[in-house]
Structure 1
Amino acid sequence: MRSRLLPATAILVLLVAACGRAPQPDLTQAAPATATRTPTEPPIATAQPSAAPTLPPTATARPSVTPTLPPTATATPMPMPTASAMPTLTPAPIASDQRFVAHTVAPGETLAALAGPDMTPAQIAAYNHLHSDRLRPGMPLLLPRSAPVTPETLLVERGNPDAPRVAITLDAGASAAPTPQILDTLRAHGVRVTFFLTGRWMRDNPELTRRIVAEGHELANHSLNHPDFRTLDRAAMLEELNATERIAQEIAGASTRPFFRPPYGAYNREVLATVIEAGYLPIYWTLDSLDSVGQPKSAEFLVERITTRLAGEQANGAIVLMHCGSQPTADALPRLLEHFAARGVKVTTVSEVLGP
């Protein structure tokens, strides 16, 4: 459940010519700066802030030494938000044959200017899980194909580089055992995050799926069976997306739109174009916690890796990849939430990290 994200002055976006399984970039060595990243694989698009690291040649995770964990500051857990403080972000109903394009917001653009005859500004805001009607230059949006814009092939790797917000994202496709502990911790700290769920996981864990939605977390699509999308034709990709959406609706009455993370972080131009047209914005990551690759990791390793690599302004807009099936992730989560709270960094959903 790995994916990759390019930092951008607003969002990291790439035009993929023929990418394989996305490698893990090290985006934590310098504070974000306006620059065009030059990956070692075929580029996807320009319009990204942040210093440009050299990507490793393969998707093999780099080994990391686990240093002694420095003490983390404690923070008073926030009370659980009330229902009114946790709005339900459900995309507005759209036509079943609606097709979409991806667009990077330019300075001065408004929802009214971007709307086409097929979707109103309010529908575009609801569909993209916007928390306000204010747009940020550089933020990615999904728009109806009739919108007056030039279609782009986007892959999001970072949110707003100017806001102290971090998206901890949790992919689910294997074990569900640590998930109740993860949800308990998030509830105790009053934090909502984004869960990328497979259809099979939801079908096997309907009560947990309903709990995720009931507690205000953001649901996103991670395919039905977790295949490498590069090996599928267009029809098979669409069935993976649509079947997962149907299961989410049937089990929890919730939608997985508008975010999708490709299984294994594997994508190419065709994959991105297909999922965008189907109404999903491809989400990669800024930092892979490595909780699902290589040798088993300890909670101490995860805390040290994430807090060290997301020091200072590197935390701004970062999207962190973690997994629901990882017990070390469940054990590390309280310390991570306390650490970021003590720094004044909000841990939140992908949709909020992408916004102004």
Structure 2
Amino acid sequence: MKNDQRLPLRRTLLRLGAGLAAATAVRLVVADPVGTPLRRAAPPSAGAAGTRAAALRARPSAYRLRPMTANTPPRYRPALPPVRTRPFEELPGIGRAMVLTFDDGPDPLYTPHILDTLRTYDVRAMFFLCGEMAHDNQDLVRRIADDGHTVGNHSWTHPLVTKLSRAGITDELGRTSDVIEKITGAPPLWYRAPYGAWNRNSFEIGAAMGMEPMAWTVDTLDWTVPGTDSIVRRVRGGAAPGVVVLSHDAGGNRSQSVAALRRYLPELLEDGYRITVPPRR
């Protein structure tokens, strides 16, 4: 083929390659839409003085925020880029089932009672652990895992994540995942931002660590110590397929949370609800 014949062919191939690259770029942009910026959470009140574990149990009220999400992801997918811009708020597609979650533990005073109740009714729940509490209560972490519950990451010291640098978020989540893996033999696959305060950095860093973000649908507000009856009413009133219930087994006086679980759990089961945890990916 002569040189003057090769030149038009080369130009055609170059144009075709450029067109394919542009089409690929468009698909990548569509696959990773950036959601509406998350609202910034109000900073938490200062914790009580003392040891780190005591400080977690003695946190004052107004240190829990409502979910910052409005949309439920339609399905699961691997926690790899492009990452989520919203956490799971409920779990669709699990039938007539609900998910019970407990934050801030494990606490040697309250967590064992919650585990006993869950074992009595042979159900599984999710426990989002603070790394420093897990480090100080390793036997309890093992019991949670051995009983078949899902162990999640709730940061190391329960900070306001939106105030941290990327390095700070990486340290908080990374140290907690490391200690959970060291104790249980497996890294956590789910994490929950303290105070329900998420940002893009936390989504990206959590995804890089192989974790999915989990928020909640029903807030029992048990951290306000509203009374056992009030906690039970909130759970029963919010009961529905796919609902995720937020409670606490540490971070303060959780005796009402323990008592409420003993009441509403058998009632939910009698109403035909399954109490379950997300399937492993």
For the pair 1:266 / 2:197, whether they are aligned, the reply is: yes
Q: Is the 8 A contact 1:213 1:254 kept in 2?
A: no
CA deviation string 1:220-257 (max 9, x = no partner): 1001111111111111111111111111122232321x
Residue in structure 1 matching 2:231, options 279, 302, 305:
302
Runs of 4+ in 1 over 6 A off after TM superposition: none
CA deviation string 1:113-149 (max 9, x = no partner): xxxxxxxxxxxxxxxxxxxxxxxxx21222544xxxx
1:15 equivalent in structure 2: 35
User: In 2 relative to 1, CA 162–283 (structure 1 residues): closer, same or farther, beyond 3 Å?
Assistant: closer
User: In 2 relative to 1, CA 228–155 (structure 1 residues): closer, same or farther, beyond 3 Å?
Assistant: same
Residue in structure 1 matching 2:256, options 301, 318, 328:
328
Quick one: distance in 2 between partners of 1:162 and 1:204? Answer: 35
3-state SS of paired residue (1:235): helix
3-state SS of paired residue (2:127): strand
1:145-184 alignment runs, 5 A limit: 145=81, 151-160=83-92, 163-173=95-105, 175-184=107-116
3-state SS of paired residue (2:39): coil
Q: Is the 8 A contact 2:83 2:204 kept in 1?
A: no
Q: Is the 8 A contact 2:106 2:137 kept in 1?
A: no
Quick one: distance in 2 between partners of 1:265 and 1:45? Answer: 13
More helix, by proportion: 2
Shift of 1:291: 0.5
3-state SS of paired residue (1:272): helix
Letter in 1 for 2:266: E
Q: Is the 8 A contact 1:24 1:287 kept in 2?
A: no
1:38-187 alignment runs, 5 A limit: 48=72, 138-145=74-81, 151-160=83-92, 163-173=95-105, 175-187=107-119
Shift of 1:153: 2.1
Unaligned 5+ segments in structure 1 are 1-13, 26-40, 49-103, 105-137
Shift of 1:175: 4.3
Letter in 1 for 2:38: A
Q: Is the 8 A contact 2:105 2:111 kept in 1?
A: no
Letter in 2 for 1:142: P
Q: Is the 8 A contact 1:45 1:153 kept in 2?
A: no
For the pair 1:246 / 2:174, whether they are aligned, the reply is: no
2:140 equivalent in structure 1: 208
3-state SS of paired residue (2:95): coil
2:16 equivalent in structure 1: none
1:192 equivalent in structure 2: 124
Q: Is the 8 A contact 1:16 1:269 kept in 2?
A: no
Q: What is the identity percentage for the equivalent residue pairs of Structure 1 and Structure 2?
A: 31
User: In 2 relative to 1, CA 154–140 (structure 1 residues): closer, same or farther, beyond 3 Å?
Assistant: farther
CA deviation string 1:20-45 (max 9, x = no partner): 238536xxxxxxxxxxxxxxx8xx78
Quick one: distance in 2 between partners of 1:334 and 1:292? Answer: 17
For the pair 1:283 / 2:214, whether they are aligned, the reply is: yes
3-state SS of paired residue (2:103): strand
User: In 2 relative to 1, CA 249–161 (structure 1 residues): closer, same or farther, beyond 3 Å?
Assistant: closer
For the pair 1:344 / 2:275, whether they are aligned, the reply is: no
For the pair 1:317 / 2:248, whether they are aligned, the reply is: no
Quick one: distance in 2 between partners of 1:16 and 1:247? Answer: 34
Unaligned 5+ segments in structure 2 are 1-33, 42-63
Quick one: distance in 1 between partners of 2:203 and 2:100? Answer: 22
Shift of 1:279: 2.1
3-state SS of paired residue (1:226): coil
Q: Is the 8 A contact 2:106 2:134 kept in 1?
A: no
Quick one: distance in 2 between partners of 1:17 and 1:195? Answer: 28
Shift of 1:282: 1.1
User: In 2 relative to 1, CA 228–252 (structure 1 residues): closer, same or farther, beyond 3 Å?
Assistant: same
For the pair 1:218 / 2:238, whether they are aligned, the reply is: no
Shift of 1:174: 7.5
Letter in 1 for 2:233: E
Quick one: distance in 2 between partners of 1:151 and 1:180? Answer: 35
Letter in 1 for 2:272: G
TM-score (norm 1): 0.58
CA deviation string 1:172-229 (max 9, x = no partner): 2484411111111111100111100011011111111111011111111001111111
Q: Which has the larger radius of gyration?
A: 2
Letter in 2 for 1:306: V
User: In 2 relative to 1, CA 290–45 (structure 1 residues): closer, same or farther, beyond 3 Å?
Assistant: closer
